[in-house]
Amino acid sequence: MKLDTSSPRSLGPLPEVGPLAFGHWRFVGHDVRTATHLIETALDLGMNLIDTADVYGLDWGGEGFGDAESLLGSVLAASPELRERMVLASKGGIMPGIPYDSSRRYLTEALDSSLTRLSVDRIDLYQIHRPDMFTHPEDLAATLTEFLDAGKVAAVGVSNFTPSQTAALVSYLGDSVVSTQPQFSVNHLEPLRDGTLDQAMQLGLRPLAWSALAGGALATGHNIRTELMLEIDALAARENVDRTAIALAFVLAHPTRPIAILGSQKPERLRAAIDALSVSFTRTDVYTLIEASEGEALP
């Protein structure tokens, strides 16, 4: 039986989004015209979830914190109609040198700074980028409730949380938590086995898969098991699509109906990714990919 890769995704109270999202980790160094074209391309393709973070733009020299949000803010200031077409997701809670802070004082300043940089009065999905293990989840829930009550955010999510960290926050915040953002690809299968995706189904959280192409490695094959690339290429030939469509379809086929966040900054690669939605996968296909990725026959 064919596995569904193409249906729209709900995100709690937010408008439905497409199964592919446009990520902004690498959304730096563009002029506003190029940046606008990229966002228009993504939106036209149905990639209406835009995933950024306050820390995106930071370079190895420690400069650039906030730059990806500021660039998106410049685009929105010049073309305000684009705001209505997107579900805007951002993240806070990482500050190099601390490195994680989810205290009320820190996050309140971080959120206000994000809103200013983005030139918006509301972030649709505000995600805690990495868990701060030295903030009690009850305190974090109180902070996020303040953000929701003030209308500064419409829904909240977590990223890189263990299932138990997510459960602790949800125990205080309930269904205001609508998403979880793990690293997940056919080359990085931990969420399938560590409880992250099971919990997402149990609690109704939408997984947002980051580095769904393993940072581009699943396109080039660099540092990927040869057996996995051979299986990907065989399926790509059968489905008449490229490798990246097969890798993305693997993520999309999971019953949590994940959203795969694309990192490419090339319009033609965003366009090509749409082929993932027409891939026809069976269970045998996905288990063959898992075996090739893990290098072990499944029992």
Among 17, 35, 153, 213, binds ligand NAP (CB under 6 A): 213
The answer to whether 290 and 247 have CB atoms below 8 angstroms apart is no
Q: Residue 48, CB half-sphere, CA atoms under 13 Å: how many?
A: 18
Rounded distance between C-alpha atoms, residue 93 and residue 114, angstroms = 11
How many CB atoms neighbour CB 215 within 10 A?
19
Q: Cα–chain-centroid distance for residue 39?
A: 16
Among 5, 211, 256, 293, binds ligand NAP (CB under 6 A): 211
Among 93, 137, 191, 263, binds ligand NAP (CB under 6 A): 263
Site string for ligand NAP, 229-258 (x = CB under 6 A): ---------------x--------------
Restricted to residues 151-170, the positions that interact with ligand NAP (CB under 6 A) are 159-160
**Binding of ligand NAP at residue 39 (CB under 6 A)?**
no
Closest approach, Cβ 53 to ligand NAP, in A, equals: 7
Q: Does 56 participate in catalysis according to the annotation?
A: yes
Helix, strand or coil, per DSSP, at residue 9: strand
**Which residue has the CB atom at the shortest distance from ligand NAP?**
263
Among 162, 269, 286, 294, binds ligand NAP (CB under 6 A): 269
Helix, strand or coil, per DSSP, at residue 184: coil
How many CB atoms neighbour CB 291 within 10 A?
15
Closest approach, Cβ 297 to ligand NAP, in A, equals: 27
- What is the DSSP code (8-state) at residue 296? S
Q: Cα–chain-centroid distance for residue 53?
A: 11
Residue placing its CB nearer to ligand NAP in the complex, 171 or 220: 220
**Binding of ligand NAP at residue 196 (CB under 6 A)?**
no
Nearest to 131 by CA among 157, 110, 97: 157
Q: Which two tokens stand for residue 231?
A: 């299986």
Burial class (CB in 10 A: 0-12, 13-18, 19+), 271: middle
Closest approach, Cβ 265 to ligand NAP, in A, equals: 4
Region of 149-157, 165-173, 199-207, 208-216 interacting with ligand NAP (CB under 6 A): 208-216
Residue placing its CB nearer to ligand NAP in the complex, 127 or 135: 127
Among 18, 191, 215, 258, binds ligand NAP (CB under 6 A): 215
**Binding of ligand NAP at residue 64 (CB under 6 A)?**
no
Burial class (CB in 10 A: 0-12, 13-18, 19+), 231: buried
Closest approach, Cβ 88 to ligand NAP, in A, equals: 12
**Binding of ligand NAP at residue 266 (CB under 6 A)?**
yes
Compute the 3-state secondary structure of the chain and give helix, strand, coil in percent, each to the nearest 5.
45, 20, 35
Closest approach, Cβ 241 to ligand NAP, in A, equals: 12
Cis status of the peptide bond prior to 258, with omega within 30 of 0? no
Closest approach, Cβ 166 to ligand NAP, in A, equals: 14
**Binding of ligand NAP at residue 93 (CB under 6 A)?**
no
Q: How far is CA 33 from CA 64, 161, 183, 263, in A?
A: 20, 36, 31, 19
Catalytic positions are 56
Residue ranges binding ligand NAP (CB under 6 A) = 23-26, 51, 129, 159-160, 181, 210-216, 219-220, 244, 261-266, 269
